[in-house]
Amino acid sequence: MNRTELEAILPHRAPMLLLDEAEVVDEEAHGRITITGDEFFVQGHFPGNPVVPGVILCEMLAQNCCVLMESGLSGAGVTPFYTSLDKVRFKHPVRPGDTVELTCRITRSRGPFHFAHGEARVAGELCCVADMSFALMPADTGAQNA
Protein backbone atom coordinates (compact mmCIF):
# COMPACT_ATOMS: atom_id res chain seq x y z
CA MET A 1 0.00 0.00 0.00
CA ASN A 2 1.24 3.47 -0.82
CA ARG A 3 0.30 6.62 1.13
CA THR A 4 -2.91 7.14 -0.85
CA GLU A 5 -4.02 3.57 -0.14
CA LEU A 6 -3.05 3.97 3.52
CA GLU A 7 -5.26 7.07 3.77
CA ALA A 8 -8.21 4.91 2.70
CA ILE A 9 -7.92 2.84 5.88
CA LEU A 10 -6.09 5.00 8.44
CA PRO A 11 -7.66 8.10 10.03
CA HIS A 12 -4.25 9.85 10.05
CA ARG A 13 -3.30 12.66 7.68
CA ALA A 14 -0.18 14.75 7.20
CA PRO A 15 1.76 15.51 9.23
CA MET A 16 0.68 12.56 11.44
CA LEU A 17 0.48 9.90 8.73
CA LEU A 18 3.90 8.43 9.33
CA LEU A 19 4.07 5.44 6.98
CA ASP A 20 5.39 5.72 3.43
CA GLU A 21 4.17 2.24 2.53
CA ALA A 22 2.95 -0.99 4.11
CA GLU A 23 1.89 -4.50 3.18
CA VAL A 24 0.58 -7.59 4.91
CA VAL A 25 2.58 -10.79 4.43
CA ASP A 26 1.76 -13.99 6.33
CA GLU A 27 -0.34 -12.15 8.94
CA GLU A 28 2.42 -9.59 9.62
CA ALA A 29 2.35 -5.92 8.66
CA HIS A 30 5.56 -4.70 7.08
CA GLY A 31 5.79 -0.93 6.93
CA ARG A 32 8.45 1.49 5.91
CA ILE A 33 9.27 5.15 6.33
CA THR A 34 12.38 7.05 5.32
CA ILE A 35 13.27 9.87 7.69
CA THR A 36 14.24 12.93 5.63
CA GLY A 37 14.97 15.36 8.44
CA ASP A 38 12.18 17.70 7.33
CA GLU A 39 9.59 16.02 9.61
CA PHE A 40 8.12 18.19 12.38
CA PHE A 41 9.25 15.74 15.05
CA VAL A 42 12.98 16.06 14.32
CA GLN A 43 13.05 19.83 13.84
CA GLY A 44 13.65 20.53 17.52
CA HIS A 45 14.64 17.06 18.75
CA PHE A 46 17.56 17.81 18.98
CA PRO A 47 19.04 20.77 17.01
CA GLY A 48 22.46 19.78 15.72
CA ASN A 49 21.83 16.13 16.67
CA PRO A 50 18.38 15.20 15.27
CA VAL A 51 16.84 12.00 16.61
CA VAL A 52 13.34 10.58 16.03
CA PRO A 53 11.52 10.73 19.41
CA GLY A 54 10.67 7.36 20.93
CA VAL A 55 6.99 8.23 21.13
CA ILE A 56 7.00 8.78 17.36
CA LEU A 57 8.57 5.34 16.84
CA CYS A 58 5.69 3.92 18.91
CA GLU A 59 3.18 5.80 16.74
CA MET A 60 4.83 4.38 13.60
CA LEU A 61 4.37 0.89 15.06
CA ALA A 62 0.74 1.66 15.92
CA GLN A 63 -0.06 2.85 12.41
CA ASN A 64 1.61 -0.24 11.00
CA CYS A 65 -0.54 -2.41 13.32
CA CYS A 66 -3.65 -0.69 11.97
CA VAL A 67 -2.85 -2.11 8.54
CA LEU A 68 -3.52 -5.54 10.08
CA MET A 69 -6.90 -4.33 11.29
CA GLU A 70 -7.89 -3.02 7.84
CA SER A 71 -11.06 -5.10 7.64
CA GLY A 72 -12.28 -3.52 10.89
CA LEU A 73 -11.38 0.00 9.76
CA SER A 74 -12.30 0.35 6.09
CA GLY A 75 -15.70 1.98 5.84
CA ALA A 76 -16.69 0.68 9.28
CA GLY A 77 -16.90 4.10 10.94
CA VAL A 78 -14.44 3.15 13.68
CA THR A 79 -11.27 4.75 14.96
CA PRO A 80 -8.37 2.73 16.37
CA PHE A 81 -7.27 4.03 19.78
CA TYR A 82 -4.15 3.00 21.64
CA THR A 83 -5.19 1.39 24.92
CA SER A 84 -1.76 0.34 26.18
CA LEU A 85 1.95 0.18 25.54
CA ASP A 86 3.97 -2.42 27.40
CA LYS A 87 7.54 -3.68 27.41
CA VAL A 88 8.67 -0.75 25.25
CA ARG A 89 12.41 -0.69 24.72
CA PHE A 90 14.49 1.74 22.69
CA LYS A 91 17.69 0.08 21.55
CA HIS A 92 19.21 2.40 18.95
CA PRO A 93 18.52 5.97 17.80
CA VAL A 94 16.80 6.69 14.48
CA ARG A 95 18.19 9.67 12.57
CA PRO A 96 17.52 11.57 9.34
CA GLY A 97 18.54 9.46 6.36
CA ASP A 98 17.46 6.22 8.05
CA THR A 99 14.77 3.99 6.58
CA VAL A 100 12.72 2.47 9.38
CA GLU A 101 11.43 -1.04 8.70
CA LEU A 102 8.41 -1.92 10.86
CA THR A 103 7.12 -5.42 11.55
CA CYS A 104 3.93 -5.99 13.57
CA ARG A 105 1.64 -8.90 14.27
CA ILE A 106 -1.62 -9.26 16.15
CA THR A 107 -1.06 -11.65 19.04
CA ARG A 108 -4.71 -11.91 20.12
CA SER A 109 -8.08 -10.22 19.78
CA ARG A 110 -11.12 -10.01 22.01
CA GLY A 111 -14.14 -8.03 20.89
CA PRO A 112 -13.03 -4.56 19.86
CA PHE A 113 -9.61 -5.05 21.52
CA HIS A 114 -6.55 -6.14 19.59
CA PHE A 115 -3.15 -6.93 21.10
CA ALA A 116 0.03 -6.70 19.04
CA HIS A 117 3.80 -6.96 19.08
CA GLY A 118 5.94 -4.67 16.97
CA GLU A 119 9.56 -4.04 16.11
CA ALA A 120 11.28 -1.15 14.33
CA ARG A 121 14.65 -1.70 12.67
CA VAL A 122 17.13 0.33 10.65
CA ALA A 123 19.46 -1.64 8.39
CA GLY A 124 18.57 -4.78 10.35
CA GLU A 125 19.43 -3.22 13.74
CA LEU A 126 16.64 -3.29 16.33
CA CYS A 127 15.70 0.29 17.33
CA CYS A 128 12.40 -0.15 19.17
CA VAL A 129 10.28 -3.04 20.39
CA ALA A 130 6.83 -2.82 21.99
CA ASP A 131 3.72 -4.74 22.94
CA MET A 132 0.59 -2.69 22.26
CA SER A 133 -3.16 -2.89 22.46
CA PHE A 134 -5.88 -1.05 20.60
CA ALA A 135 -9.61 -0.60 20.78
CA LEU A 136 -11.66 -0.13 17.63
CA MET A 137 -14.27 2.40 18.73
CA PRO A 138 -17.12 4.05 16.85
CA ALA A 139 -15.74 7.28 15.39
CA ASP A 140 -18.09 9.55 17.38
CA THR A 141 -17.02 7.93 20.70
CA GLY A 142 -13.49 9.24 20.38
CA ALA A 143 -14.63 12.85 20.11
CA GLN A 144 -16.69 12.50 23.29
CA ASN A 145 -13.84 10.95 25.27
CA ALA A 146 -10.96 13.05 23.94
- Catalytic one among 30, 45, 114, 117? 45
> For residues 53 and 36, what is the distance between their CA atoms, to the nearest angstrom?
14
State the DSSP H helix or E strand holding residue 30, giving kind and residue range, or none if neither.
Answer: strand 28-34
Q: What is the CA 122 to chain-centroid distance, rounded? A: 15
Cβ-in-10-Å burial (0-12, 13-18, 19+) of 46 comes to exposed
> For residues 20 and 17, what is the distance between their CA atoms, to the nearest angstrom?
8
45 is catalytic: yes
DSSP secondary structure letters along 85-137: EEEEEE-S---TT-EEEEEEEEEEEETTEEEEEEEEEETTEEEEEEEEEEEEE
Q: What is the CA 114 to chain-centroid distance, rounded? A: 14
Residues annotated as part of the active site: 45
